[in-house]
Amino acid sequence: MSNQDIINGYKIIPMTSSEENYLIINYDSYDSIYGNIFIASTNKGICYIGLGSETEMLEELRKRYSLSDLVKKTDQQHSAAISQITDPDSAAEITFHIKGSDFQLEVWNELLNTECGKTCSYKDIAEKIGKPKAVRAVATAIGQNPVTFLIPCHRIIRSDGTLGGYYWGLDIKKKILKHESFR
């Protein structure tokens, strides 16, 4: 499977190093059922979604894309992302334009196959990408996912059925999983 396959309405376009330099990234903050959501996008797709204050998230975006021009501006991609986060059953097609190693991109692509309302384990993801012994590396890649909610790292749990970790906190992970299971 290539990184540009459409999976459940989503597509990942890998960002190259040369593309990242002097890229224009639009960003804005939005109120949601999970609190303040910060969304950033390039002309090719969503490049970042995080939770927290705009000041904190803007700092995170600057760290990730230090040579890019950041512009506070809402765009249609943001609206599609908010709709999908609010109603996981909405039928939006969303493209992600993100940077990552080949391994990370492979893991993030596999996450897109985890259906809304369901969970799978880190071990399952490692096996699905053909690297069954790479469970810790898979967990690390999942923890570095730049597009929370839409690349569904929150749906990945430990093999024993416990939630494991979540970058944005276990309370948010529980809330997202509950919201998705009651759709």
Q: Give the whole-angstrom CA distance, residue 21 versus residue 7.
A: 28
| Residues involved in catalysis | 153
Alpha carbon 27 to chain centroid, angstroms: 15
Phi/psi of residue 4, nearest 5 degrees? -105, 15
Q: Tell me the β-bridge partners of 97.
A: 13
Show Cβ contacts of residue 19 under 8 Å, excluding neighbours closer than 6 positions: none
